[in-house]
Amino acid sequence: MTKLDQLINELCPDGVEYKALGDFVTITRGGNFQKKDFTEIGVPCIHYGQIYTRYGLFANQTITSISKEAANKSKFASQNDIIMAVTSENVEDVCKSVAWLGSDDIAVSGHTAIIRHNQNPKYLSYYFHSSMFFAQKVKLAHGTKVIEVTPDKLKNILIPLPPLPVQQEIVRILDNFTELTAELTAELTARKKQYEYYRDELLSIDNETRYVALDDICEISRGRVMSKEYLRDNAGEYPVYSSQTANNGIFGFIDSFDYEDESITWTTDGANAGSVFYHVNEKFSITNVCGLLRVVNKSEVNTRFVYYVLQVVAKKYVSSGMGNPKLMSNVMARVKIPLPPLEKQNRIVAILDQFDTLCNDLTSGIPAEIEARRKQYEYYRDKLLTFKEASA
């Protein structure tokens, strides 16, 4: 029998009481400062937008501050309070929260709920990120472009409240999972830096190596216009890549394909202009904000070598004129890259492929391990936070 089982048998053998959030917390709205109020030195603060991108489940230090003048008009969170973002662009992110564990009071921006309570703050934070909480919040969320869950509606959320020693043991177990994932994430970050260092070193070609323009070794083509309506009317199994970063750049799927050879695509327009992607053993198409390179003479040029070189140099040719970054086909055609003998290209590719697999492969390497740990954590989190409800 585990320590958690012993505590449950001893402290709540007949089940756990489920309480409405409003029955054991006080909920207040955050203040009204904005990002323009940030200062290098001042009163520590959390802006609601940072909860989505910069904070995890807990924090004891803030990453920004505001002036005393702005803080005087703000609302404050104290140690152990939960700070919850109550507006978002999507249902998944709305109600994302962070438990403030620092000893000092901090200023909190608008679009938040400050939740004050007498429970274990980490226990509540874990629950606010569980599938059980998600199932309740989606019923309370409203809006189209902006999704909101009002603090008044939050009061109706039901939460299991086992005795504090049980909460503490659950937190200890889940902390072990999150610490392991954090260690793996730190390892991945270190490996990526190592990969970038060795990539740049390996591609630092000596002065005797010849340089060639891409249009001397590649056929260059541009994607075609495809609207969402076109994708809908021609739905199929073949991916269409565009300039977006979500879904690995996949814009949709159609019933035909434009390319199937080993090739390199790049983004021609927008914030991701100059980003390059490698394709092999794939049938696909690209939209008009992408271009494609196909090596003509593979007896002299390794396509994947060109891909690795362009990872380093392509962004240098992006033009930011008129506020819209671009790397058009006529510019890409003139990009010159080093081209050592094929044997050396192959040797460099073999080394970099090992790093690439370690850093980016979702079926092996560190990302696969992180994903496996994440799923394991989510499974045990939801299992540990599910209790038999005590009879009234």
Shared-domain flag, residues 123 and 229: no
Shared-domain flag, residues 155 and 215: no
CATH code for the domain in which residue 221 is found = 3.90.220.20
The answer to whether residue 355 sits within a structural domain is: no
CA-CA distance, 265 to 273, in Å (whole number)?
11
Domain boundary among 119, 136, 160: 160
Choose among 292, 323, 287: nearest CA to 310.
292
Shared-domain flag, residues 133 and 222: no
Shared-domain flag, residues 326 and 214: yes
The answer to whether residue 216 sits within a structural domain is: yes
Shared-domain flag, residues 94 and 229: no
Single-letter amino acid, residue 90:
N
Average pLDDT over residues 220-224: 94
CA angle 304, 309, 314 (to 5 degrees): 120
Shared-domain flag, residues 75 and 152: yes
The answer to whether residue 61 sits within a structural domain is: yes
Binned at pLDDT 50, 70 and 90, residue 205 comes out as low
> What would the two tokens of residue 153 be?
């509606």
Percentage of the chain exceeding pLDDT 70 = 96
The answer to whether residue 2 sits within a structural domain is: no
Start-to-end CA span in the chain (Å): 28
> Beta partners for 302?
none
> Beta partners for 287?
224
Decide: 245 and 277 in contact? Cβ < 8 Å.
no
The pLDDT of residue 363 is 63
Decide: 78 and 57 in contact? Cβ < 8 Å.
no
Which position has the token pair 């740990």? Answer: 373
The answer to whether residue 189 sits within a structural domain is: no
- Higher-pLDDT residue of 187, 241: 241
* Range list of β-strands (E), 205-344: 211-213, 218-222, 235-241, 250-254, 263-267, 276-279, 285-286, 290-295, 336-338
Note the pLDDT tens digit of each residue in 117-139.
Answer: 999 999 999 999 999 999 999 99
The answer to whether residue 309 sits within a structural domain is: yes
Shared-domain flag, residues 59 and 151: yes
Domain tally, the chain: 2
Average pLDDT over residues 355-374: 76
CB-neighbour burial class of residue 191 (10 A; exposed 0-12, middle 13-18, buried 19+): middle
Spatial neighbors of 155 by CB under 8 A, at least 6 apart, are 20, 21, 22, 27
> What would the two tokens of residue 250 be?
């996949």
The answer to whether residue 91 sits within a structural domain is: yes
Shared-domain flag, residues 155 and 235: no
Q: Which domain holds residue 59?
A: 17-160
Shared-domain flag, residues 24 and 137: yes
Decide: 254 and 236 in contact? Cβ < 8 Å.
yes
The string of DSSP codes covering 271-333 is: TTTT-EEEE-S--BEEBTTEEEEEES-TTT--HHHHHHHHHHHGGGG-B-GGG--B--HHHHH
pTM: 0.68
Sheet holding 263-267, edge to edge: 218-222, 290-295, 263-267, 276-279
The answer to whether residue 282 sits within a structural domain is: yes
Binned at pLDDT 50, 70 and 90, residue 190 comes out as confident
Binned at pLDDT 50, 70 and 90, residue 358 comes out as confident
Average pLDDT over residues 80-109: 94
The pLDDT of residue 186 is 83
Q: What SS3 state is found at 105?
A: coil
Domain boundary among 118, 137, 160: 160
Single-letter amino acid, residue 149:
V
Domain boundary among 160, 190, 219: 160
The pLDDT of residue 370 is 81
Decide: 96 and 52 in contact? Cβ < 8 Å.
yes
